[in-house]
Amino acid sequence: MYPFQITSFEQYKETYQESINHPEKFWAAVAENFQWRKKWDNVLNWNFKEPKVEWFSGAKLNITENCIDRHLATMGDKPAIIWEPNNPDERTRTVTYNRLHKRVCQFAQVLKNNGVKKGDRVCIYMGMIPELAYAILGCARIGAIHSVIFGGFSAQSIADRLFDAQAEYIVTCDGAYRGGKDIPLKSVIDDALIGNRTVKKVIVYTRTRTPVSMLKGRDLWWEDEMEYAETQIEKEGVVSFPAEEMDAEDPLFILYTSGSTGKPKGVVHTCAGYMVWTTYTFVNVFQYKPGDLFFCTADIGWITGHSYIVYGPLSAGGTSVMFEGIPTYPDAGRFWDIIDKYKVNILYTAPTAIRSLMGFGLEPLKGKDLSSLKILGTVGEPINEEAWHWYDENIGKKKCPVVDTWWQTETGGILISNLAGITPSKPSWATLPMPGVQLVIVDENGKEVREKDDTGFLKGNLCIKAPWPAIIRTTYGDHDRCRKNYFETYPNLYFTGDGALKDDIGNYRITGRVDDVLNVSGHRIGTAEVENAINMHAGVVESAVVGYPHDLKGQGIYAFVIDNNRHGDEDLTRKDILQTVTRIIGPIAKPDKIQFVKGLPKTRSGKIMRRILRKIAEGDLNNLGDITTLLDPGVVEEIKKGKL
């Protein structure tokens, strides 16, 4: 009755309306396109007060049967994953659906052999190799909850996440290749495990064959375990490992993300709703057609990789290109080489990558055939018009629709985007909501904004009125944190933390975070988290961190630091602080600028006035607003003078 794939603007409008007027009927119809062991009793139960959201409750399924098994009869030999190594001279790998099935079953058996059960937490810290996908899907197959940690996080960050998730198992590699670097993943894990008492087993895949310590009884080689599992489950050339029957609302994974408090939150997604949403949005936003080759350049350590390298494309029976390296290695033509080599049809990348590649000019594009491209996408941060046009003109040659997709770790999949070639695009605007997504712009008090501002747009904080299937269900181990973070600011609304504009047609433009969260190269970092890390440095008395506009990264990190000036050598102290942040969080959180100050602008009640620091960091020195309420307005002059 409702088309799974929307094929015209008219149809989008009708579908959107239907999804709002009859959400249960609509999503039940969409869900018919999946494989269920048992169908749902109820499509949706919810309240945003607790919050409690249940989609398709009573249904039984396993997401890996949807991502793999259901495709085997008709396209077992079709590539599910095409893997491009960091080093272009190394052999590439093509993983067919049959092969994926075999490996995932094998790895599920490995997990079982090592005592992993449904509901157990498995931490995955690996580079971008097919084994990472096997590990994720192997967990999903037996119902274990995976928690992937991005390779740029430090041992301390991993230790915190292991503790929070009470993880008992780890899957990692000896090392990972990223551009010219070898990252010693196992050694970082070893550091993270000092003092840890919950982790029972660490499975180590050999990628770089860098020397690693292997503790008897705890550390196991992936290869040995897989070989043993193969002999166990192979019967007459047929491999099978029965998928665990999961409830619709059983947790599928945890993914940690930064908020405005000092501690990252474990965002929990569940099986059925996440599967339906990632598949539906993949097929519609990118207008996926059977046979299309889809290249998402994200790392699987972030939500984009979970939803649009692994779950969405595989559930749709697509072929996902997985790239181990970075866009500038061995040179800035690497993405274009990959597109040319495999004849990629859909490219999904981040504004920060586009801006960085723009900086190399058109030379790296010379001789690269990009004519296979049909659709371009961006995600992760607002895209500036210049980058949008560069992408459209030089990569898409003005014949590929550009989709600007807005979403978050907490939303599981894309919530606002044009549908490629179906609904109109508008440079630097994410445009229209997906079916089922009811947006509202509110003011500081939670009142719906109905009056346009002087630019002719509705402007305010972006909220959502009702649940979509992949909404965050909880923050792991602390449900009240979930309520406080997302559902308390404005009663009965999900608060995104983003500011937005809305035009007369109903298009949305995301202007950026309105809370204390930074978006650095598309990575989310909480200012409080960075401050905590800086404050761990022995010489630091106090610090305040704000964002400032950065040409390549979107936002840079600016730290104002009061130190005890023990060495008298600012530069050395600065380096010490960077080292400390790298240890506590990881290199991604290193401040771009550290300004030493004697005092911070505080109110009489002791609250730091970040508004003032933000203005100074942005270089807007003459528009600091009212500073008379400060305890000591004199500090502002000193800070202004020392601006970097």
* CA pseudo-torsion sign 274, 275, 280, 282: positive
Question: Within a 13 Å sphere around the CA of 264, how many CA atoms are in the beta-carbon half?
Answer: 30
Residue 111 neighbours by CB under 8 Å, 6+ apart: 122, 138, 139, 142, 144, 169
Member of 55, 97, 348, 407 binding ligand PRX (CB under 6 A): 407
Q: Is 467 exposed, middle or buried (0-12, 13-18, 19+ CB in 10 A)?
A: buried
Nearer to ligand PRX, 56 or 282 (CB): 282
Nearer to ligand PRX by C-beta: 88 or 262?
Answer: 262
Closer Cβ to ligand PRX, 88 or 512, answer by number: 512
Strand partners, 475: 267
User: Taking a C-beta distance cutoff of 8 angstroms, is the pair 250, 271 a contact?
Assistant: yes
Q: Which is nearer to ligand PRX, 356 or 408 (CB)?
A: 408
Measured over the CA atoms of residue 512, residue 518, residue 524 and residue 528, the dihedral's sign is negative
In sequence order, the 6+-apart residues with CB closer than 8 A to the CB of 480 are none
Q: CA torsion sign, 155 to 307 to 293 to 286?
A: negative
C-alpha radius of gyration, the chain, whole number: 24
Helix or strand holding residue 359 (H, E): none
The one-letter amino acid code at 608 reads I
Give least dist CB 408 to ligand PRX, A.
Answer: 4
Residue 129 binding ligand PRX, by CB under 6 A: no
> Closest separation between CB of residue 109 and ligand PRX, Å?
33
Residue 560, SS3 per DSSP: strand
Output the six-digit token pair for 485: 């973070």
Torsion of CA 492, 494, 500, 502, to 10 degrees: -50
What distance in Å separates the CA atoms of residue 77 and residue 35, rounded to the nearest whole number?
20
Near ligand PRX by CB under 6 A: residue from 100, 268, 303, 346 = 303
Q: Based on the shown chain and the rule CB under 6 A, indicate whether residue 524 belongs to the binding site for ligand PRX.
A: yes
Residue among 143, 364, 377, 382 that touches ligand PRX (CB under 6 A): 382
Q: Which is nearer to ligand PRX, 152 or 512 (CB)?
A: 512
Shortest Å, Cβ 347 to ligand PRX: 15
Asked whether 551 and 545 are in contact (CB, 8 A), the reply is: no
Rule CB under 6 A: is residue 418 a binding residue for ligand PRX?
no
The interface mask with ligand PRX, positions 239-268, x = CB under 6 A, is ------------------x-----------
Among 109, 208, 304, 345, binds ligand PRX (CB under 6 A): 304
Closer to ligand PRX by CB, 229 or 255: give it.
255
Shortest separation between residue 410's beta carbon and ligand PRX, angstroms: 7
Query: Residue from 498, 529, 531, 563 that binds ligand PRX (CB under 6 A)?
Result: 498
Which one, 442 or 631, has the nearer CB to ligand PRX?
442
CB 88 to ligand PRX: min, Å: 27
Q: Which is nearer to ligand PRX, 250 or 381 (CB)?
A: 381
Stretch of 140-148, 337-345, 439-447, 510-518 lying at the interface with ligand PRX (CB under 6 A): 510-518
CB of 524 to ligand PRX, least distance (A): 4
Question: Distance between CA 173 and CA 550 in Å, rounded?
Answer: 34
| Binding range to ligand PRX, per CB under 6 A, among 215-223, 435-443, 480-488, 496-504 | 496-504
- The one segment of 30-38, 269-277, 492-500, 579-587 that binds ligand PRX by CB under 6 A: 492-500
Among 54, 69, 381, 563, binds ligand PRX (CB under 6 A): 381
Shortest distance, CB of residue 525 to ligand PRX, whole angstroms? 9
Is 186:172 a contact under the CB 8 Å cutoff? yes
Interface with ligand PRX (CB under 6 A), residue from 51, 151, 497, 547: 497
Q: At a CB cut-off of 8 Å and minimum separation 6, what does 331 contact?
A: 364
Contacts of 245 (CB under 8 A, 6+ apart): 37, 60, 61, 62
Choices 9-17, 339-347, 407-415, 484-492; region in contact with ligand PRX by CB under 6 A:
407-415
- Structural contact between residues 135 and 106, judged by C-beta atoms closer than 8 angstroms: no
Q: Segment near ligand PRX (CB under 6 A), from 230-238, 289-297, 333-341, 511-519?
A: 511-519
Minimum CB–partner distance for residue 170 and ligand PRX (Å): 23
Q: Which of 188, 357, 379, 594 binds ligand PRX (CB under 6 A)?
A: 379
Task: Please choose, out of 77-85, 227-235, 491-499, 540-548, the segment that lies near ligand PRX by the rule CB under 6 A.
Answer: 491-499
Interaction of residue 406 with ligand PRX, rule CB under 6 A = yes
Q: Which of 135, 272, 314, 430 binds ligand PRX (CB under 6 A)?
A: 430
Sign of torsion, CA 227 232 238 241?
negative
Contact, 205 vs 171, CB < 8 A? yes
* DSSP characters over 557-573: EEEEEEE--SSS-HHHH
What Cα–Cα distance (Å) separates residue 581 from each residue in 182, 194, 236, 536?
21, 19, 54, 8
Omega of the bond leading into 184 within 30 degrees of 0 (cis): no
| Residue in the shown chain whose Cβ atom is closest to ligand PRX | 409
Q: Note the residues at the interface with ligand PRX (CB under 6 A).
A: 257, 303-304, 379-382, 404-409, 430, 496-498, 510, 512-513, 519, 524
